[in-house]
Structure 1
Amino acid sequence: MKKSRMIWMAALAMLLMAGCGQKAAPAPQPTTPVEQPSGSTPSTTEPKLTKQTITVYYSDNDLMELQKEEQEISFAEDIEKYKKALSMLEKPQKTDDHVPLWKDFHYHSVTFDKGTLTIDADSKNQYNLGSSGEGMAIDALKKTIFQFPEVEQIVILEDGKKAESLMGHVEISEPLTR
């Protein structure tokens, strides 16, 4: 008698556990279509891109003088145009004639406030340009960025801290000005 009672209890427990794993059926959805107001279409607000042709500066093959190249950038916000100009310093279109002075330049952030463009560079950047190459790189940066009339000065930091020099030759502890 105890044995049959135990079998019935086990069977009942198994039925209860089997029922616990099942989900309730979803409520049926109404089948009447919802009307869209006439004349309205779903709008996707894509930012309006501004195109601008800028002059970007590189070195000649002998690192003797700066060469300029016209390139077009597209941007939605002003900060993007500065970032694109910086990235263009790494990529000349005429790779046979122009040497990028900012090749593999990495930065943490670029900000603009009250006429000052601040570039927080990564201190792990490696430069092998010598003193004249460093001077040309700074000149290329200034000529490229100062074509935007709202930029009055450029501050270069390294890892968020004031930098003395990028390569050890040209002092950049003070803001670069026009």
Structure 2
Amino acid sequence: MKRRHMIGMALLATLLVAGCGQKAAPVPQPTAPAEQSPGESQTPATNEPKLTRQTVSVYYSDNNLMELQKEEQEISYAEDIEKYKKALELLEKPKDADEHTALWSDFHYHSVTFDKGTLTIDADSKNQYNLGSSGEAMALDALKKTLFQFPEVERIVILEDGKKVESLMGHMEVLEPLTRDQ
């Protein structure tokens, strides 16, 4: 009996030793970043674009649709065209929804382009606006105040499905570009 037990133990030891002799694939160890001298900036390993952060003023109506009110919000963007798109997005959602009403809620557009001082917004013709004439005037004022804070924007052209339209909501004319002095 002892002999069988000793043979079983010897076999088990042999298997263990044989298993330990196999080489495992080396596990790559993370390398520590090289030390930098003061004033040196570390370049990122990936080619992620550098984001610019900017605080912008965005305009909404008060809850009674009587006057425009300003909110400061922060945006981050890699290219200039993104800052205009982000400003348009912010027009849809005030931070303080209890105090402010978005005049551009559910606003959809096909594209936003910028060329030689003219910002062109190609809006979707399926947008629904129910603000009346004073609400439409206030919405256009909110759009102008929000986008004209960027000094390079001199004119805003609004199209619908790539075509000029007389009005977005049927009350205020948008055939001509919106300018700062209007």
Residue 176 of structure 2 corresponds to which residue in structure 1? 174
Residue 120 of structure 1 corresponds to which residue in structure 2? 122
Query: Please, what is the CA RMSD of the aligned residues?
Result: 1.5
Residue 153 of structure 1 corresponds to which residue in structure 2? 155
1:42 and 1:174 mapped to 2: Cα distance?
Answer: 46
Whether 1:91 and 2:93 are equivalent positions in the alignment is yes
1:161 and 1:146 mapped to 2: Cα distance?
Answer: 23
One-letter amino acid of the counterpart of residue 102, structure 1: W
One-letter amino acid of the counterpart of residue 82, structure 1: Y
Residue 163 of structure 1 and its aligned partner are, at CA, apart by 1.2
One-letter amino acid of the counterpart of residue 144, structure 1: T
Q: Give the secondary-structure state (helix, strand or coil) at the position aligned to 1:136.
A: helix
Q: What is the CA deviation profile of residues 91-114 of structure 1, one whole-angstrom value per residue up to 9, with x for unaligned ones?
A: 100000000000000000000000
Unaligned runs of 5+ in 2: 1-33, 35-42
One-letter amino acid of the counterpart of residue 138, structure 1: L
Q: What is the CA deviation profile of residues 5-51 of structure 1, one whole-angstrom value per residue up to 9, with x for unaligned ones?
A: xxxxxxxxxxxxxxxxxxxxxxxxxxxxxxxxxx8x99311100000
Normalising to structure 2: TM-score of the pair?
Answer: 0.75
How many residues of Structure 1 are paired with residues of Structure 2 in the alignment? 140
2:110 and 2:82 mapped to 1: Cα distance?
Answer: 14
Whether 1:76 and 2:78 are equivalent positions in the alignment is yes
1:163 and 1:140 mapped to 2: Cα distance?
Answer: 19
One-letter amino acid of the counterpart of residue 85, structure 1: A
Residue 61 of structure 2 corresponds to which residue in structure 1? 59
2:82 and 2:165 mapped to 1: Cα distance?
Answer: 24
Residue 110 of structure 2 corresponds to which residue in structure 1? 108
Normalising to structure 1: TM-score of the pair?
Answer: 0.77
One-letter amino acid of the counterpart of residue 164, structure 2: K
One-letter amino acid of the counterpart of residue 166, structure 2: E
Unaligned runs of 5+ in 1: 1-38
Consecutive aligned runs of 4 or more in structure 1 exceeding 2 Å deviation:
none
Q: What is the CA deviation profile of residues 61-111 of structure 1, one whole-angstrom value per residue up to 9, with x for unaligned ones?
A: 100000000000000000000000000000100000000000000000000
Residue 128 of structure 1 and its aligned partner are, at CA, apart by 0.3
Percent identical pairs in the alignment equals 82
Q: 2:164 aligns with which of 162, 165, 175?
A: 162
Q: Give the secondary-structure state (helix, strand or coil) at the position aligned to 2:101.
A: coil
Residue 43 of structure 1 corresponds to which residue in structure 2? 45
